[in-house]
Structure 1
Amino acid sequence: MERDPAKRIVITGLGLTSPNGNTLSEYRANLLAGKARVQRIPMRYMGEVNAGVCDFDPMKYQRRKEVRNGTRAGSIAIYCSREAVADAGLDWDSVEKSRVGVYIGTTEHGNVETENEVYNISQFDYDTKYWTHHHNPRTVANNPAGEITMNMGVTGPHYTIGAACAAGNAGLVQGAQMLMLGECDLALAGGVSESIHTFGIFAGFKSQGALGEHEDPNLASRPFDTSRNGIVVSEGGAVYVLERLSDAQARGATIIGELAGWCINSDATDAVLPNPERQAQCMREAIRRAGMTAQDIDVVSTHATATPLGDIQEAKAIKDVFADCPNTYVNNTKSFIGHAMGAAGALELAGNIPSFSDNLVHPTINITELDPECAIPNLVINTPKTVERVDSILNNSFGMLGINSALIVKRFID
């Protein structure tokens, strides 16, 4: 049965910044070439830590005062959104801004600004008269999405989606749902992270024994490897232009892919340790809602963060769902750029979307010795895999407090 074009949601634009690329072409080239880009940065109270750092130019789309008064997450969100709009071929001046919705996933927000302000007033005997009046708008939860609206003149709805490290997928799901409900006619959706600018997240992972360490920063993130020892924290973002198929076709847009199905569920078992049974249920439900079978999935983009137990749990779930899928290939992006937290799902999906055009599955790198408990069939290791055709990508993104998300993007077929 033919699906209603007004209910089909397609991607018509994509903008990103990542530690190893500020455009999709640069990012993809580095993924195919096996080039990681992690570095050592100084961190207050901790010395040096491994981190994924972006080098985009915020002044491309912002004035100096906006950058100074706003947030790093806001600058990332603005950069990615502006790049996405340009990629979509939109005449932004003629777009009805009241019908644009902004839905941005984030892991945490406000920690950076609060930590910095507390440190700043500590230099003045904690006199709060030195506390910046920009603190409140910087730290409210809707900040990254709100900064987009102010910069771009959007007067439609905006908010951020707090979904831990599943937030990038959740932002895309929210955008698609709002389009299907008719709440907007165009959605800017995805995820952003400024996490590397807060010592708290590094200290927290270190206290959990989950902060990735290696003398070579580019080898610090090594999902599925026997020597993996934790997460490399990164910043970054990816924002997509989403439209109803009928609207995209009416304006003659180039369609990058179609959001075919998704699911978000909860473990309800542990705040940190993932539950493979719930993860498997999440993937299966996303596949069911897409009207597909597991055998129809060509690429599975894993969430695996390089924590010893987390990788094993996801491997169990994937092996369960894709046990009889000899043509389904599996990869991981965090081995290149670390864990971009709220941006992770959106960035990792972006890195795989060019598979529709080049028929290549980018590898998981930094695997010297594969952990037998993580031996997923068709895990692409260290070099790209050429396949006959890629028609579908399932993107896993999971987070603390047991939030799971699986999002399926298909090659667009009219």
Structure 2
Amino acid sequence: MLAHHQRIVITGVGLAAPGASNLHEFRKQVLDGRSGIQEIDLRYFGTAPAGLCSIPETKYRKKKENKKGTRAGCLGVYCAHEALLDAGLEQSVYDKARTGVYIGLTEHGNVETENEIYHLKQYDYDVAYWSHHHNPRTVLNNPAGEITVSLGITGPHYSIGAACAAGNASLIQGVQMLRLGEVDMALAGGVSESTGSFGIFASFKAQGALAEAAAPEQACRPFDQKRNGIVVSEGACIYVLERLDRALQRGARIYGEIVGYGMNSDAKDFVLPFDQRQAECMELALAKAGLRPDQIDIVSTHATGTKQGDAEECRAIRSVFQGTGSPFINNTKSIIGHAMGAAGVLELAANLPSFDDQLVHPTINLDDPDPECLLENLVVGEPAQGSTLSTILNNSFGMLGINSAVIVQAYRGSS
């Protein structure tokens, strides 16, 4: 068993976001404040703003394999391969039996079930025509499992269901498994295929929580007086996590070090968030990192564009950071929408390059700030220039009151 203080670093990033298929493209997109949202037309539901990904789907596996699997699996396989390539591990130095795959999901199986029922309709709902692929497509470990099949990884794989905190939760799981000595390398991240499900859109609409706008790219507007809900997006982001000593040994480029994290539960409501528990979650992460609030340079907000959700998070942030010389604060969902299980990891990826270029990407569509959402140093419209940006606190919160915060720091030497 390894010591709990083993340092864990990020050495590879693979992603698919609305508007980008790699980190370089993604960073340019968020710095430009260029929306990845478009209008889609869902069966039964109709049109809605949404975020869709465009990736070279047959880069790492054949069309037949993609068809046999799921959209979530397709996104996951692409991002896992890209992450390993980015980390210089395409010819892996790690034993595949000592490699873990941990994938965060908000939901899984909705798309396949809806598709099968739609397919059955033409056969008068005769279940003899139900696909034999349904079960392996809809088990919760599917996206993680598809990654192991594609890469020949024989170590542990599983999915982590933590609503929209699932991406952060997967990073935490990867860190813990590396520190426990259960694996020597981890592929950790989140995946969402939610734009394929009309039921998700219909449910948010029934809650009064689905965004509407005359122009789709203006629909996601966290903190704005005119915000009216969530823009649903698909997406994925997977990181290569390694122990620092092994990463240094092989001369890896290090994006950052995961120095702290916190997770807790509101224990209050099925849907509505709770600022006190969110604040406590951030404080847990700070305590684990051994950092004070004034040592955080960027807070990446979860804010989804809902009335209460945005206001609750802003209260939580103010309570943690008041009187500290506030960090820069931004929101990535305003640009790419809400990628559910992939949201937290994509939003972290949007901010990671700040360690190199010393820029903080902007929040867009914030034309009329809500007084309940006022935050000092909220970056709006244009990037902000930093000078010593080296620490990010990444928030992700989800339904049933699950909260997460992950703190990543620029690598500062091996001492």
TM-score by length of 2: 0.98
| 1:65-94 CA-partner distances (Å, limit 9, x unpaired) | 110100000011111110000010114355
Distance 2:4 2:135 in 1: 42
Q: Is the 8 A contact 2:14 2:22 kept in 1?
A: yes
Q: Is the 8 A contact 2:4 2:179 kept in 1?
A: no
Query: Residue in 1 aligned with 2:13?
Result: 14
* Pair 1:6–1:271, CA change in 2 (3 A): closer
Distance 1:308 1:231 in 2: 10
Distance 2:216 2:154 in 1: 42
The correspondence of residues 84-103 of structure 1 with structure 2, limited to 5 A, is: 84-103=83-102
Matched, 1:25 2:11: no
Cα drift, residue 306 of structure 1: 0.1
Distance 2:91 2:153 in 1: 10
Q: Is the 8 A contact 2:94 2:184 kept in 1?
A: no
Match for 2:391: what amino acid?
Answer: S
Query: Residue in 2 aligned with 1:271?
Result: 270
Match for 2:204: what amino acid?
Answer: F
Query: Residue in 2 aligned with 1:203?
Result: 202
* Pair 1:93–1:358, CA change in 2 (3 A): closer
Match for 2:185: what amino acid?
Answer: L
Matched, 1:347 2:356: no
Match for 1:186: what amino acid?
Answer: M
Query: Residue in 2 aligned with 1:394?
Result: 393
Distance 2:39 2:172 in 1: 34
Q: Is the 8 A contact 1:12 1:254 kept in 2?
A: yes
Match for 2:400: what amino acid?
Answer: L
Match for 1:310: what amino acid?
Answer: G
| 1:111-145 CA-partner distances (Å, limit 9, x unpaired) | 00001001110111011121111000000000000
Distance 1:100 1:265 in 2: 27
Distance 1:51 1:256 in 2: 30
Matched, 1:76 2:59: no
* Pair 1:182–1:149, CA change in 2 (3 A): same
My pick for the range that moved more, 37-46 or 235-244, is 37-46
Matched, 1:107 2:99: no
| 1:241-261 CA-partner distances (Å, limit 9, x unpaired) | 000111111111111100000
Q: Is the 8 A contact 2:41 2:48 kept in 1?
A: yes
* Pair 1:5–1:163, CA change in 2 (3 A): closer
Match for 2:268: what amino acid?
Answer: T
Match for 2:237: what amino acid?
Answer: A
Matched, 1:282 2:281: yes
* Pair 1:253–1:205, CA change in 2 (3 A): same
The correspondence of residues 176-325 of structure 1 with structure 2, limited to 5 A, is: 176-325=175-324
Distance 1:137 1:71 in 2: 9
Match for 1:15: what amino acid?
Answer: G
Q: Is the 8 A contact 1:17 1:238 kept in 2?
A: yes
Q: Is the 8 A contact 1:6 1:245 kept in 2?
A: no
Query: Residue in 2 aligned with 1:373?
Result: 372
Distance 1:338 1:117 in 2: 27
Query: Residue in 1 aligned with 2:165?
Result: 166
Distance 1:377 1:117 in 2: 49
Match for 2:159: what amino acid?
Answer: T
| 1:334-386 CA-partner distances (Å, limit 9, x unpaired) | 00010000000000000000000011011110001000100011111111100
Secondary structure of the residue aligned to 1:200 is helix
Q: Is the 8 A contact 2:60 2:78 kept in 1?
A: yes
Distance 1:84 1:5 in 2: 25
My pick for the range that moved more, 242-251 or 213-222, is 242-251
Secondary structure of the residue aligned to 2:31 is helix
Provide runs of 4+ in structure 1 moved above 6 Å. 3-6
Cα drift, residue 325 of structure 1: 2.4
| 1:8-43 CA-partner distances (Å, limit 9, x unpaired) | 100010000100211111111011111001111111
Cα drift, residue 44 of structure 1: 1.2
Secondary structure of the residue aligned to 1:59 is coil
Q: Is the 8 A contact 2:395 2:405 kept in 1?
A: yes
TM-score by length of 1: 0.98
Distance 1:368 1:94 in 2: 50
Matched, 1:127 2:126: yes
Query: Residue in 1 aligned with 2:54?
Result: 55
Cα drift, residue 5 of structure 1: 10
Distance 1:106 1:7 in 2: 27
Q: How many matched pairs? A: 412
| 1:152-183 CA-partner distances (Å, limit 9, x unpaired) | 00000000000000000001100110000011
Percent identity at matched positions?
59
Q: Is the 8 A contact 1:326 1:378 kept in 2?
A: no
Give the RMSD, CA atoms, in angstroms.
1.2
Secondary structure of the residue aligned to 1:223 is coil
Distance 2:191 2:325 in 1: 34
Match for 2:100: what amino acid?
Answer: G
| 5+ long unaligned stretches in structure 1 | none
Distance 2:328 2:375 in 1: 9
Cα drift, residue 4 of structure 1: 6.9
Secondary structure of the residue aligned to 1:407 is strand
Q: Is the 8 A contact 1:6 1:244 kept in 2?
A: no
